[in-house]
Amino acid sequence: MKHFRILLFLLIFIFISLPAYSAGRLTYYCSTDIPWCELMKKEFEKRTGIRVAMTRASSGETLTKIRAEKSNPKGDVWWGGTGDPHLQAAEEGLSQPYNSPKFKRTA
């Protein structure tokens, strides 16, 4: 089950980061435990060849950073952490949802 979760997270991560593929680099904000952040970075780089610049911070710190970057966003993906800051970012128009065409197969 653990391997399935890692693979599922990795696939979602890959799909939402497709715009970074053309740039050859992904900027990744991670708001979960450091081992998970590092695992996602390592596996993504290994499977795609895209370099990842990762910043690990709490959800609140990341939301503050994203607000400060509103006029010139630097991040491609924000993953992990508590829900409220993610919902707040969405309400403020600071994030974009990703709806995978394969979602119905996993639901």
pLDDT, position 61:
97
Determine how many CB atoms are found less than 10 A away from the CB of residue 56. 18
Query: What tokens does 33 get?
Result: 């435990």
Name which of 82, 55, 51 is nearest 66 in CA terms.
55
pLDDT in tens, the chain (107 residues): 555 565 555 555 555 555 555 568 899 999 999 999 999 999 999 988 999 999 999 999 999 999 999 999 999 999 999 999 999 999 999 998 877 777 776 65
- All structural domains of the chain, each given as residue ranges with its CATH number in brackets, are 24-106 (3.40.190.10)
C-alpha distances in Å from residue 64, one per residue of 11, 17, 26, 53, 83: 27, 21, 20, 18, 15
